[in-house]
Chain A
Amino acid sequence: MQVAAELPSTAKGWIAAWPLLLLALLAVGLPTLYSMATESWTREEGIHGPIVLATAGWLIWRRWDEIRAGAQPGKLWLAFAGVVLASAVYLFGRAYGFLILEVGGLYLALIAILYAMIGGRMLLKLWFPLLYLGFAIPLPGWLLDSITLPLKHLVSDIVTRLMSWLGYPIVQVGVTLYIAQYQLLVEDACAGLNSIISLTAVGLFYIYLMHNASWRYALLLFLLLVPIAIAANVVRVIILVLITYYLGDEMAQGYLHDTAGIVTFVTALLLIFLIDGLLTPVRRLLSGGSDAKPA
């Protein structure tokens, strides 16, 4: 029928039904994937990009049968308007090197196309995977800097207080952390906050998979993500300071290069698991007894 022609089940079917569209998506998508891979994914603040793309794809794929069954093609003129707007944003971003607009335009185009194929009702069912996919849009450095700068100072402040309370000879003087005879730049020490977007993305993914049922509880966990990211960075910096203090500057630089990123990530994940576990009674409460009923 009509629907079968819109959403084929085989690769051959797709090529027969949407030959031009597939070609167009390759023409805009491949260069952008290349730009993202070379300009963003290799940097600490963009390292989650490929993971988000893959997992968002998987989230959509696992519900595809349900989506196919309920698909009602959306209004063509609306989808067309969306694709035109998205194409203009993409064109500007791609030509003049604004990766955020280039990827943002592509993202918008994908949503418009998906709307044309499955309609608004089914699109709403995919709200989480689509929102989550938005994390693959790379933020430019200047924007990220202005978000993370106050957080970096907060982290360094917490570490200084905590460790001097524990009796370590640590002082923060404006630019620098002094630990015994060593000094560390706050900027370098707290660089882990660049990964705050990655941590949020991974946290969201976990929340969605584990607690699909209760959106209230998911919201609560989501609000805890930023404090968790800060706590993970405090752990990272404390380890850095301890290594500097006991093992010297050289070992600390090695740690910064090789393992600091993983330490932040693992700490954040463990904290999410821990908090999720501790909050189990709250979850029961928010889910209203046994299980939340779909709204």
Chain B
Amino acid sequence: MPSRRDLLLAAPLLAAAAGAYALTPRNRMNLLGSMKLDDVVPLAFDGWSVSPSNAFVLPKPREGSLADILYDQQLNRLYTGEDRLPVMLVIAYGSTQSDLLQLHRPETCYRAIGFEVTGSRPVTVRIADAEIPMRELTATSNDRIEPILYWTRLGDRLPTSNNEQRLMKLRTEMDGYIADGVLVRMSTVADPSAEVFDALQQFARSLVLAIRPDARGAFVGRPAAALIAESASPGKAA
């Protein structure tokens, strides 16, 4: 016969074990599915097209490095065009977001390699009928100034800060899903001005609209993708 002490100390722990098992999310929300970033993101759209470059601020791709562990797929491209601002596009996709493995925001990533980050502020970019929360910032090193525009998606949500990102991860998990995540970062080398940021926003707009409708959810989440599909479907071919 178990004693009263035994019962009292064991009961909460047994309840916690059972409760954790019941509440643990098991459904994977994998919006990119088996698609490849390289196939889904068009090589040319709206006057921009890919040209070769190695001028990216990126972690060195090395086996076992942080980027290697964090992201399943990564895409780095330089888009240029006549009368267009050259834009460096980086997309990083991670199929599982956990407490130890999560998207690194450019504020952290640029600082980690010696850039000074200034003027970080949230902005809302309207794409067709959807409003996508993004963030603008400027990274400065000794010999280089990069205005940056980026957004992140976690499940169907679009967090604009680290805290929001953790909170939204938690919400998604409370809904019973293990979310995937994506970081879309656009930058250029120029002095930060309103025009430059406008051009980056225009690039973001064109990019999202140029991605085929069934894959858009993987970049902006399904609710925003649905809004865009509703309003942008008639005649928006590049």
Contact = CB atoms under 8 A, between A and B. Distances in A.
Interface of A: 6, 17-21, 23-25, 27-28, 31, 39-40, 43, 73, 76, 79-80, 83-84, 86-88, 90-91, 94-100, 105, 109, 112-113, 116, 138, 140-142, 145, 149, 152-153, 173-176, 185-188, 253, 257
Contacts of B54: none
Given A40-B100, A173-B142, A188-B60, 7 more contacts: A17-B6, A24-B13, A27-B18, A31-B20, A87-B12, A174-B114, A187-B113
A238 to B, nearest CB: 19
Contacts of B3: 17
A21 B9 contact: yes
A165 B99 CA distance: 42
Contact of A96 (B2, B15, B115, B173): B173
29 contacts: A19-B2, A20-B6, A21-B6, A21-B9, A21-B13, A23-B10, A24-B11, A27-B14, A28-B13, A31-B17, A31-B20, A83-B9, A90-B20, A91-B23, A95-B23, A98-B99, A109-B13, A138-B100, A140-B100, A141-B102, A142-B108, A173-B141, A173-B143, A176-B114, A186-B113, A187-B59, A188-B60, A188-B65, A253-B62
Contact of B8 (A76, A141, A253): A76
Contact of B98 (A97, A112, A188): A97
Interface string B172-201: 011000000000000000000000000000
B27 to A, nearest CB: 14
B21 to A, nearest CB: 8
Nearest to B24: A95
A91 B39 CA distance: 41
A100 B141 contact: no
Contact of B10 (A24, A100, A176): A24
B111 to A, nearest CB: 7
Instruction: Point out which of A28, A113, A149 has the most chain B C-beta atoms below 10 A from its C-beta.
Output: A28
B182 to A, nearest CB: 18
Given A174-B142, A175-B57, A23 B20 contact: no
B99 A94 contact: no
**Most chain B C-beta atoms within 10 Å of own C-beta, residue among A73, A90, A176:** A90
Contacts of A6: 5
A141 B111 CA distance: 16
Given A39-B98, A141-B102, A185-B59, A149 B9 contact: no
Interface size class for chain B? 35 or more
B101 A141 contact: yes
B16 interface: yes
A43 B65 CA distance: 11
A149 B117 CA distance: 14
A73 B9 CA distance: 13
A97 to B, nearest CB: 5
Contacts of B17: 24, 27-28, 31
Given A141-B100, A145-B112, A174-B115, A20 B2 contact: yes
Which secondary structure dominates where chain A touches chain B? helix
B19 interface: yes
A150 B18 CA distance: 42
Interface in B10-43: 10-20, 23-25
B162 interface: yes
Q: From A6, A21, A28, A153, name the one whose CB has the most chain B CB atoms within 10 angstroms.
A: A21
A17 B59 CA distance: 56
Contacts of B11: 20, 24
B16 A149 contact: no
A32 to B, nearest CB: 10
Given A141-B100, A142-B102, A175-B57, A149 B111 contact: yes
B100 A87 contact: no
B170 interface: yes
B7 interface: yes
Given A21-B6, A27-B17, A174-B115, A84 B99 contact: no
A83 B14 contact: no
Contact of A113 (B9, B25, B100): B9
Contacts of B62: 188, 253
Given A23-B14, A83-B13, A188-B60, A97 B99 contact: yes
B69 to A, nearest CB: 8
Given A24-B14, A95-B20, A149 B6 contact: no
A25 B62 CA distance: 40
B64 interface: yes
Contacts of B14: 20, 23-24, 27
Contact of B5 (A40, A76, A99): A76
B104 to A, nearest CB: 8
